[in-house]
Structure 1
Amino acid sequence: NLGTGTRYKIKEVVEMICEILNWKPKEFAFEKDKPVGVLSRALDNSNAKKLLGWEPKFSLKDGLDKTIEWYLKTHKTSGKINDSALLEHNFTS
């Protein structure tokens, strides 16, 4: 897995997704009985940069935006993948 190399709290990612979807929940529910849960995530891309010369082209928010846009275009209302839309993007299973 590769990422932006920037640490994000899980709540921040959820808030980004809600903003992209223009969804404004009144509040988020947290499981307070699990205080040992992961509060944030970050991926170290140093090996990809060193070995492949790879660096991220998009911020996490831009990547989420593109992923959500792709998902909404390629999935039918049933939630299953629309095969013809996958072929348009040169994705095959």
Structure 2
Amino acid sequence: MKVEPENQQLMNERGTEVFDDEKQLSDYNLSAQTARAQSPATVALVFRQENGEFESLDITPLSSPPELPEVMKPQEPQAHELN
């Protein structure tokens, strides 16, 4: 993809918030802790059209996250661990 950065825009998955170029993804609560394989984050990328406007947001789901294996699911604390 050869599109100049000024002709690209990142935004949230609803298209209601355009991400500022000067900020990091973590400023938008996107990190390894909030975006996991079993609960992925979505970031939209749109391009500037020839008329100077950015294209409409259209997100096409490509896949569903896999079921988390039992060994990776959070464990309930045991009664003796609570004291």
TM-score normalised by L of structure 1: 0.23
Q: Which has the larger radius of gyration?
A: 2
Greater strand content: 2
